[in-house]
Structure 1
């Protein structure tokens, strides 16, 4: 689940409060406020995927500005699957550099796990990157020294929120290698090759998939385990790398990609180990939409987000038959400067 913080675009929500934490504020009404973590005793409970009060999407309001046209004017808002909107005050709205300078013309990165139960963000109190679970547990990530806070940044949480993939630029303008962390025990994380781009996590979060541009200007796909060791590398068919988004299954080898649109869309499966297209299935997507996110949410289930401008459409498809169903549709906030949806 890649998410890059840009105005009115998808944010790095794959893109951290728990059912108990949110339940505790239910008495506040439709809009509640969350700041400090809930009781640590609640951290052990992890709700079922997309249970009520898991996070559906995150946004921050945009306000007019004489200099920049529009700027974020926070705080962050969590739209929940229960229909509530929760004000989230713990996360930075405007990024701050190491010297404490605030940049009000852009939004700080934020990411949501696919199951909607975790948030990755920069904490307002100390500018540290943290992952907050629903239920109260807050995991502090290593400091990203020398990070440019005005350059795009990738924050990608696994479906279950247990792994975090981070990509950023330094103040020298150079892109730093991706790092992957075990959220509960991050240490210094595992460093991936600097040549790796467009990285994402597999359905189970155990494998990193990314692109490497070779000296011959060809694009290869490569996978790495959580320690940073390369598992496979292949030059795939153009139909795979020339279409986006694509997603890696929990088997660490099967890549799903959607081509075409509307009633002519097809779900294609590519096996990286055998270097062959395994399957091409006709799937029905809504007309007039743009593919936003693709995720493996089961051994044979692929979930597709389609951005239709003012609305988001989410469909689930069987990767063996192509049979599909609509899981959810919702209206996107019209006033959002930044919007980030959960993945699966």
Structure 2
């Protein structure tokens, strides 16, 4: 997974729930509104001593139904026009699972999952800068898919990232040497990090116009752990810590305003559940996505979505499902 997403698979606490695949039949009227993305994936095929992406980008929906995206580019085009058959293209899913973003030919587009409508991103956001390989771009969608960040991963780190408001068509720029970590739930703020000349980490928050609204050189415990979530106030964050020795997952909050880290609260999740993504919702609760593997560094076999009480650490599983066929790449909502 790409650096823009700020993801780290962390080992977490004892199995507490059985992974169940949802196989119920969804009536057509309900499917139009609720049959949303669980994860997006691309198949893995053997090629000599390694594997490569193959087949089509595919969406697995909450009903268990799969949707193949025949128009989504699988292998990126190099700047010289040749295709890199060993690499895969960028892909993103909105946090609510209603919108996906991918390359259609040479154009970045978004697809409404329920209607199937596909539209290009506005203006210059739709096409890559001249001379840039398609493998050197990454994207991230806001919770409802109305905003998108495009990060150009050029070696010189000269190309600024683009922050796109899909509804207004306005495009703001973000500094090239930042790592985009995620949106606030309302999509009005973007949390980023950057390494300073003093070998410290600074968190910087931007609004939709690309203006800095908060910044702080953060403590080591904040800088060295992930995933991290930003609340709607644009200053409150939450992050997960897993002890290297105890492997017990703990949750902290951190305020960019007061520069204070909260006391830890224990998260009741399995030692084999890696914290994949963390996000706030407008009501002030947290959503934690985890991926399960039988052993550290082993093949991921399932994923789960959980709600977390930020004060107590109380966890409730709201969805769980298998990750089938060892895909070459796969993305959860919000990634």
Equivalent residue, structure 1, for 2:107: 128
Q: Is 1:106 the counterpart of 2:87 in the alignment? A: yes
- The DSSP-based 3-state class of the residue aligned with 1:75 is strand
Q: Is 1:313 the counterpart of 2:295 in the alignment? A: no
Q: CA RMSD in A?
A: 2.7
User: 2 CA distance for matches of 1:169 and 1:146?
Assistant: 13
User: In the TM superposition, what whole-angstrom CA distance separates every residue of 1:5-64 from its partner, at most 9, and x where no partner exists?
Assistant: 99xx99xxxxxxxxxxx969x9xxxxxxxxxxxxxxxxxx9x4xxx2x201101111111
Q: Which moved more, 1:249-258 or 1:331-340?
A: 331-340
Q: How far apart are residue 280 of structure 1 and its match?
A: 3.0
Q: Which moved more, 1:191-200 or 1:160-169?
A: 191-200
User: In the TM superposition, what whole-angstrom CA distance separates every residue of 1:113-157 from its partner, at most 9, and x where no partner exists?
Assistant: 111100010013xx1001112324433222221363364532111
User: 2 CA distance for matches of 1:155 and 1:209?
Assistant: 14
User: 1 CA distance for matches of 2:84 and 2:305?
Assistant: 34
Equivalent residue, structure 1, for 2:45: 63
Equivalent residue, structure 2, for 1:138: 118
Q: Is 1:118 the counterpart of 2:102 in the alignment? A: no
Q: Is 1:251 the counterpart of 2:230 in the alignment? A: no
TM-score by length of 1: 0.79
Unaligned runs of 5+ in 1: 11-21, 27-44
Equivalent pair of 2:76/2:135 in contact (CA under 8 Å): no
Equivalent pair of 2:157/2:177 in contact (CA under 8 Å): no
Q: Is 1:277 the counterpart of 2:261 in the alignment? A: yes
Q: Which moved more, 1:223-232 or 1:334-343?
A: 334-343
Equivalent residue, structure 2, for 1:296: 280
Q: How many residue pairs align between the two structures?
A: 301
User: 1 CA distance for matches of 2:228 and 2:4?
Assistant: 20
Equivalent residue, structure 1, for 2:166: 183
User: 2 CA distance for matches of 1:116 and 1:277?
Assistant: 31
Relative distance call for 1:204 and 1:3 in structure 2 (3 A) is farther
User: In the TM superposition, what whole-angstrom CA distance separates every residue of 1:266-313 from its partner, at most 9, and x where no partner exists?
Assistant: 211111111112453222111222221111133321111122121112
User: 2 CA distance for matches of 1:4 and 1:109?
Assistant: 12
Equivalent residue, structure 2, for 1:217: 199
- The DSSP-based 3-state class of the residue aligned with 2:38 is strand
Unaligned runs of 5+ in 2: 10-26, 293-299
Equivalent residue, structure 2, for 1:337: 328
Q: How far apart are residue 315 of structure 1 and its match?
A: 1.4
